[in-house]
Chains A and B, each alone.
Chain A
Amino acid sequence: MPAVTETREQVEKLGQSSYKWGFETDIEMDFAPKGLNEDTIRLISARKEEPEWLLDWRLAAFRAWQTMTEPTWAKVTYPPIDYQDAHYYAAPKKKPGPKSLEEVDPELLRTYEKLGIPLHEQALLVGVEVPEGEEARLPVAVDAVFDSVSVATTFRKTLSEAGVIFCPISEAVRDHPDLVRKYLGSVVPAGDNFYAALNAAVFTDGSFVFVPKGVRCPMELSTYFRINARNTGQFERTLIIVEDGASVSYLEGCTAPMRDENQLHAAVVELVAMEDAAIKYSTVQNWYPGDENGLGGIYNFVTKRGACRGARAKISWTQVETGSAITWKYPSCILQGEGSVGEFYSVAVTNNHQQADTGTKMIHIGRNTRSTIIAKTISAGQSDSTYRGLVRMMPKASGARNFTQCDSLLIGDRCGAHTVPYIENRNMSARIEHEATTSKISEDQMFYCRQRGLSEEDAVGLIVNGFCKDVLRELPMEFAVEAQKLLQISLEGSVG
């Protein structure tokens, strides 16, 4: 592949000029120099040994991105991001991890404890390093988890027997190029928006799922995730394709806060549901929200969209968003197939100085399409939370229906909650309902609960979980319980 060799040479030259320590191990080189340009993208593509079409696709996205400006319509404020001041391939030098749990911030460990995460998983989550040839003092079963190859193999076997493909997206590019080429960017085009274009240009990891005709995926893909993949990359790209009559339930994220060195995250998720197919996509997002003064924290700019291509297809998004300093996220459904169904269930919690602008878009194209939106927003501290949603009925969407309910709960008197619904109707037979409420946890409620023996935190937890009940019950069982605890923990210290 002469093109690839050429790129390598070019990049090496580039690298040498900016990286004075030289390239003793240049073949294994694990990072690109700072900055974003076509060469960086060529390097990424070359490193991943991608086919020419994908490189071209990335480059087209990059060129589109260069002509775009960052969206400013969301109700979030943050200092300007210097996109040239970042590494786009592999990570900057990894800081050495703690040697044992004793070196880890006790605050973090308390959080884990409250979530009921076993010790060895805690160690993995905070990235404890075990010196070679040494036994860890605490039962840091990092190896046991990493070595859960046997479990992973069992899972893979179960999945492949059913004909389900579930692998990293780079592996899919190699092993199933036709599928990837057919669907990649078909729901979220490379030049869709500023962040999606950035993602298309530089994405390095993510997941690929393919469920063939008539197959019910034999396991919740969340189960797999719990044990294996921690692929929270900076620019993740996920593609899920479910054929006629097939179904899958996928859970991304983790209730436990993750250590992460990248501040900017711009992921893209594309879902394709064919006739009578069903996709349930659940997210529990708990990235570092910054400290109580609003310092640090992840910027999370995500584009998630699903297309119900066939008749009676169904896509259901459920999200519990408690983390990140800034969340910019609108999981959407394009309801093309006749009678297809889109659902969006969301709980967004902001505390301290967090900002969230999140919601959904339901685009009704086909006849008798239906969508349901239940969005619960909880603001505490000095945070600001916005629900922003679009319901659009296209001219052919006869008999389409939408029901939207947006509820906001305020804790304290320094936070904000905003609801911005956009409704566009171009079909007279379509029916759209919108309900919205705003409420506050009152001192009366707190006192009532405490008089009955509940601590302040238990009282807030109980009231908040009651408020979110309609959404939490949409989560897969095992995560619903954790999500409940997570809500309570996220709001600690928000009262009194």
Chain B
Amino acid sequence: MTVVTDIKRKQDLCRDVAETSGVKKMSELLKISGLHASIDADGTPKEILRGVDLVIPPGEVHAIMGPNGCGKSTLSYVLAGREEYEVTAGSVSFIGRDLLAMEPEERAAAGLFLAFQSPVELPGVNNANFLRTAVNAVRRARGETELDAVGFLKAVRAATKNLSMSDDMLKRNVNVGFSGGEKKRNEVLQMTMLQPKLAILDETDSGLDVDALRIVAEGVRNLRSPDFSALVITHHQRLLDYLGPDRIHVMAKGRIVRSGGPELAKQIDVEGYASFLAEAA
């Protein structure tokens, strides 16, 4: 895996730079402690997260793997602030702030980005206009100057070029009539433009062909820096091969049951989740 070693080297380099330049290194960007969350199922609350503990330091890429229905997507929705999930216990701190007390748009402004498993269509809303509105909303909240039409166009052209996407996608309505691959690439474009500190990719690789997968992976890799972390939810080894994650977490029955290095993903690829499920039981 030359790709992986490449990234490792780049990362180490970054770390060196960060350390030698005397930047105080925060040991945790995201800290989830004992998180419980449930959803209303026909009047009775159904608990889906049952005590999730997870720490993601800055600059690292972590992956969550686990069988269907184990709570991976719920975790990503709870972190992004979706209202129909009720947090019943636990805490989440993000860049030292109480994430659970923040509105979804505040979380976005603070640097949390969720790449959706099924990106939502917005009929009649021009993609470029949407992207610019989002970028400027976030920049405003971060105390940065807003981009004017020319500045935005320049930035977005550079980003699409980097992701080998055509400008054509910008002229269409948000996700309307997009193929599965186009939708995912559009998510990556948004991620690139919004410059998050933490990107959560919820099965962004599902339903992608090899080429699309590579583009998505490259989009994430382009962002790798000491200030960027990612939490990748996936079923597949292939995306992880491209990304070279620092840590793998296995989720089962609403909890993280095992954490380890990249080798854990390979073990799952061979053995499946059976042994982990037994552990969780």
Contact = CB atoms under 8 A, between A and B. Distances in A.
Contacts of B34: none
Contacts of A230: none
B177 to A, nearest CB: 14
Given A453-B109, A455-B105, A448 B116 contact: yes
Q: How large is the interface on A (under 10, 10 to 19, 20 to 34, 35 or more residues)?
A: 20 to 34
Contacts of B124: 463, 465-469
Interface string A427-469: 0000000000001001111011111111110100011011111
Interface in A147-187: none
Contacts of B194: 452-453
A417 to B, nearest CB: 16
In this complex, the member of B81, B123, B126 whose beta carbon has the largest number of chain A beta carbons within 10 angstroms is B123
Contacts of B137: 452-455, 458
B130 interface: yes
20 contacts: A445-B120, A450-B81, A450-B104, A450-B105, A450-B108, A451-B80, A452-B130, A453-B108, A453-B134, A453-B137, A453-B194, A454-B105, A454-B134, A454-B137, A462-B125, A462-B133, A463-B125, A465-B124, A467-B124, A469-B124
B114 interface: yes
Interface string B7-35: 00000000000000000000000000000
A453 B82 contact: no
A445 to B, nearest CB: 5
B63 interface: no
B103 interface: yes
B229 interface: no
A217 B133 CA distance: 38
A472 to B, nearest CB: 11
A448 B114 CA distance: 9
Contacts of A458: 133, 137
Interface of A: 439, 442-445, 447-456, 458, 462-463, 465-469
Interface in B117-131: 119-126, 129-130
Contacts of A466: 122-126, 173
A314 to B, nearest CB: 26
Contacts of A439: 123
B120 A462 contact: no
Contacts of A455: 105, 137
Contacts of A448: 116, 119-120, 122
Contact of B108 (A452, A467, A468, A469): A452
In this complex, the member of B103, B121, B134 whose beta carbon has the largest number of chain A beta carbons within 10 angstroms is B134
In this complex, the member of A454, A465, A469 whose beta carbon has the largest number of chain B beta carbons within 10 angstroms is A454
Interface in B77-109: 80-84, 103-105, 107-109
B138 interface: yes
A469 B104 CA distance: 27
A466 B125 CA distance: 5
Contacts of B134: 449, 452-454
B190 A445 contact: no
A447 B104 contact: yes
B141 interface: yes
Given A452-B190, A453-B134, A453-B141, A445 B122 contact: yes
A454 B194 CA distance: 12
A271 B130 CA distance: 40
Contacts of A454: 105, 133-134, 137
A456 B104 CA distance: 10
A442 B113 CA distance: 20
Contacts of A450: 81, 103-105, 108
Contacts of A456: 105
Given A448-B119, A453-B135, 8 more contacts: A448-B122, A450-B108, A453-B194, A455-B105, A456-B105, A458-B133, A466-B173, A467-B124
A443 B138 CA distance: 21
Given A463-B125, A467-B124, A451 B173 contact: no
A462 B103 contact: no
Contacts of B123: 439, 466-467
A450 B194 CA distance: 13
Contacts of A449: 122, 130, 134
A444 B103 CA distance: 15
A444 B119 CA distance: 9
B99 to A, nearest CB: 13
A325 to B, nearest CB: 28
Contacts of A452: 108, 130, 134, 137-138, 190, 194
Nearest to B125: A466
Contacts of B122: 445, 448-449, 462-463, 466
Contacts of B190: 452
In this complex, the member of B82, B84, B137 whose beta carbon has the largest number of chain A beta carbons within 10 angstroms is B137
A448 B120 CA distance: 7
B111 to A, nearest CB: 10
A456 B105 CA distance: 9
Nearest to B200: A451
B50 to A, nearest CB: 24
Contacts of B83: 443, 447
Contact of B130 (A442, A444, A462, A468): A462
Nearest to B118: A444
A462 B173 CA distance: 12
A445 B120 CA distance: 6
Nearest to A455: B105
A439 B133 CA distance: 23
A466 B81 CA distance: 25
A121 B119 CA distance: 44
Nearest to B138: A453
B135 to A, nearest CB: 8
In this complex, the member of B81, B84, B133, B173 whose beta carbon has the largest number of chain A beta carbons within 10 angstroms is B133
A86 to B, nearest CB: 43
Nearest to A437: B123
Contacts of B113: 451
Nearest to B115: A451
A443 B85 CA distance: 13
A451 B108 contact: yes
A468 B173 CA distance: 14
A128 B123 CA distance: 43
In this complex, the member of B80, B114, B126, B130 whose beta carbon has the largest number of chain A beta carbons within 10 angstroms is B130
Nearest to A467: B124
A451 B111 CA distance: 10
B61 to A, nearest CB: 20
A465 B130 CA distance: 11
A447 B119 CA distance: 11
Nearest to B173: A466
Contacts of B121: 445
- 4 closest residue pairs by CB, A with B: A466-B124, A466-B125, A453-B138, A452-B134
